[in-house]
Amino acid sequence: MNAHLLLSLPIIWPLLGVALCCMLWSRPRAQRITSLVVSAGLLLSSLALLAATWDGTVLATQFGGWAAPFGISFVGDMLSAAMVVITGLMAVAVGIYGLAGDAEAREAAFYHPLYQGLLLGVTGAFLTGDIFNLYVWFEVMLISSFGLLALGGTREQLDAGVKYVTLNLVATTLFLICVAFLYGLTGSLNMADLARILPTIDNQGLVTTIAVLFLVAFGSKAAVFPLFFWLPASYHTASAPIVAIFAALLTKVGVYAILRSFTLIFDLSLGFTAPVIGIVAALTMVTGVLGAAAHFDVRKILSFHIISQIGYMLLGIAVATPLAIGGAILYVIHHIIVKANLFLLAGVINRAGGSFELKEVGGLYKTLPWLGVLFLVPALSLAGLPPLSGFWSKFVVVKASLDAGHALLAATALAVGVLTLYSMLKIWNEAFWKAAPAASTAATERWLADTGTRRAMLTPIIILAAITMTIGVVAEPFIAFSLRAGEQLLDKSAYVEAVLGPGPQRSAEWQP
């Protein structure tokens, strides 16, 4: 397959999904089949993209036949391809999970088109090579997530929606203003072109200022300290499959944008950006894990853990050695799988135990021992226990920061790991270990009687747990891939050359 097809297919599948699901508006069953088929198509075409970029080639294509700095470029390197594969995997896993339980109520409220719209925005953001186009994909993702969050229309969801919508709109508008500033400074919007123009700008102080503004805009998307308040205010109100896909993908798009812009467009060695990211990373880890310790609702605990885990990814970006960037990439991959799985399990705890509130659940290990094992795999992986995927990603990030002499950051990361273990054991003790309240026992009986729901909900959980185990036991290829992807990010020449072609050239005449 040629580069154009490889890069546009991951966009075309979800776009097709949105269109078809809208047309099949009155037929929920047909929408389900369409949604699943399209998600599988997304996974397959993203795997083809990964295979084509595996050896380190950077694929690039220009839409509309306009040559590089003028048209919209789509670029696939190892990082983008890996992110798109994970998106496809999540699309299928959460898609299967979404068939269970109260699926009819969601489907009546436009669930499938919005779900595909979210995937469209996320894959677009991972593949685009144009900063204004990135803004457009952010908005596609955002409007779908608005709809999904408020899908049920309950009081709780409307309240959460108000906060989520306001804070996210402010963040994306700030992103748009940053894009305008960058355009005013350079006269270009193409990321590869920007990478070439920005070092030639005389006023580097202005470049650093814009870089930090971008950090604020992307940081609020990624839910870093102190910009995370929209996340714990809203995530726990959405229904289980929706919050799982949110937890897997939305904040990670912000992390991806930071990773991409601070390796390709801006230089991390410039000014004081790297120390700022380091401090923010430490505070994000600590506040997130402390917030989780204070709560007794499974979804709220897990929401705060998203924030704390984002800190580890930022830690890798702040240290900025090839090992650290590779570690951050491995962390993103590990985290998406584990976090989505934990939210899927939270949905199962609610169904089999009768509540999300830990004080009202209990005794699940006695009646459903295998569910306990399935919970322990992602929970212990999140805390970073060997031999699971979390151990290796934490190991690489911590080793990189120790190698670079950031002992304090490494110590924070390890301490937060212990506190994460505390939170996970809290869920374990309350939901699985202690004696079951009467209401919880009744819910467990209903769960055991409903084979269809059980099958739909447990299949994706088993698949994701198996992937977590695989990354943990056969870690070598995954670590090697992440390290190569990190090296590719830090050496931007391949990316720039793939988009703009070899040789020095200036895009357009621009008088600063």
Partner 1 sequence: MEPVFALAFGVLVAASTYLIMSRNVLRIVLGLLVLGNAANLSIFLAGRMGTRTPPLVPEGATTLVGGANPLPQALILTAIVISFALIAFTVILFESAHRRFGTLDTEALRDAEPKPGPKPAPAAAAAPVAGDVPAAETVR
Q: Closer to partner 1 by CB, 71 or 322: give it.
A: 71
Dig out the tokens for 216 from the structure. 């604020």
Using the rule CB under 8 A, is 180 a contact of partner 1?
yes
Using CB under 8 A, which residues numbered 202 to 241 contact partner 1?
A: 232-234, 236-237
Q: Closer to partner 1 by CB, 303 or 393: give it.
A: 303
Q: Taking the complex as a whole, how short is the minimal distance between the CB of residue 176 and partner 1, in angstroms?
A: 4
Binding track, positions 404-443, relative to partner 1; x by CB under 8 A: ----------------------------------------
Binding track, positions 152-171, relative to partner 1; x by CB under 8 A: -x-xxxxxxxxx-xx--xx-
Q: Closer to partner 1 by CB, 150 or 464: give it.
A: 150
The whole-angstrom distance between residue 263's C-alpha and the CA centroid of its chain comes to: 18
Using the rule CB under 8 A, is 65 a contact of partner 1?
no
Among 67, 104, 173, 501, interactor with partner 1 by CB under 8 A: 173
* Number of residues near partner 1 (by CB under 8 A): 36
What secondary structure letter does DSSP report for 61?
Answer: E
Query: HEC states along 39-91?
Result: HHHHHHHHHHHHHHHCCCCCEEEEECCCCCCCCEEEEECHHHHHHHHHHHHHH
Using the rule CB under 8 A, is 181 a contact of partner 1?
yes
* Nearest of 328, 306, 337 to residue 409 by alpha carbon: 328
* Nearest of 248, 460, 252 to residue 338 by alpha carbon: 248
Applying CB under 8 A, the span of 98-106, 172-180, 426-434, 486-494 interacting with partner 1 comes to: 172-180
CA–CA dist 24, 29 (Å, integer): 9
Using CB under 8 A, which residues numbered 237 to 266 contact partner 1?
A: 237
Q: Closer to partner 1 by CB, 143 or 469: give it.
A: 143
Using CB under 8 A, which residues numbered 113 to 142 contact partner 1?
A: 132, 136, 139, 142
Q: Taking the complex as a whole, how short is the minimal distance between the CB of residue 113 and partner 1, in angstroms?
A: 15
CA–CA dist 426, 359 (Å, integer): 11
CB atoms within 10 A of CB 65: 6
Q: Closer to partner 1 by CB, 233 or 283: give it.
A: 233
Among 176, 274, 456, 494, interactor with partner 1 by CB under 8 A: 176
What secondary structure letter does DSSP report for 14?
Answer: H
**344 close to 240: Cβ distance less than 8 angstroms:** yes
Sequence-ordered alpha helix ranges (H) in 384-473: 389-403, 407-427, 438-449, 451-473
Q: Which amino acid makes up residue 457?
A: M
**6 close to 49: Cβ distance less than 8 angstroms:** yes
The whole-angstrom distance between residue 489's C-alpha and the CA centroid of its chain comes to: 18
Q: Taking the complex as a whole, how short is the minimal distance between the CB of residue 100 and partner 1, in angstroms?
A: 24
Q: Closer to partner 1 by CB, 114 or 383: give it.
A: 114
Q: Taking the complex as a whole, how short is the minimal distance between the CB of residue 431 and partner 1, in angstroms?
A: 21
The whole-angstrom distance between residue 227's C-alpha and the CA centroid of its chain comes to: 17
* Nearest of 316, 330, 335, 333 to residue 484 by alpha carbon: 330
Q: Taking the complex as a whole, how short is the minimal distance between the CB of residue 234 and partner 1, in angstroms?
A: 7
Using the rule CB under 8 A, is 146 a contact of partner 1?
yes
CA–CA dist 467, 334 (Å, integer): 9
Q: Taking the complex as a whole, how short is the minimal distance between the CB of residue 172 and partner 1, in angstroms?
A: 8
Q: Closer to partner 1 by CB, 88 or 354: give it.
A: 354
Q: Taking the complex as a whole, how short is the minimal distance between the CB of residue 71 and partner 1, in angstroms?
A: 12
- Find all residues with CB under 8 Å of 292, minimum gap 6, and list them: 300, 301, 302, 304, 305, 308, 419, 420, 423
Applying CB under 8 A, the span of 150-158, 193-201, 367-375, 484-492 interacting with partner 1 comes to: 150-158
Beta strands in 25-169 (DSSP E): 59-63, 72-76
Q: Taking the complex as a whole, how short is the minimal distance between the CB of residue 308 and partner 1, in angstroms?
A: 18
What are the respective helix, strand and coil percentages of the chain, to the nearest 5? Answer: 80, 5, 20
Residues facing residue 75 across a β-bridge:
60
Query: HEC states along 208-229?
Result: HHHHHHHHHHHHHHHCCCCCCC
Q: Closer to partner 1 by CB, 126 or 235: give it.
A: 235
Residues binding partner 1 (CB under 8 A)? 132, 136, 139, 142-143, 146-147, 150, 153, 155-163, 165-166, 169-170, 173, 176-177, 179-181, 183-184, 232-234, 236-237, 511
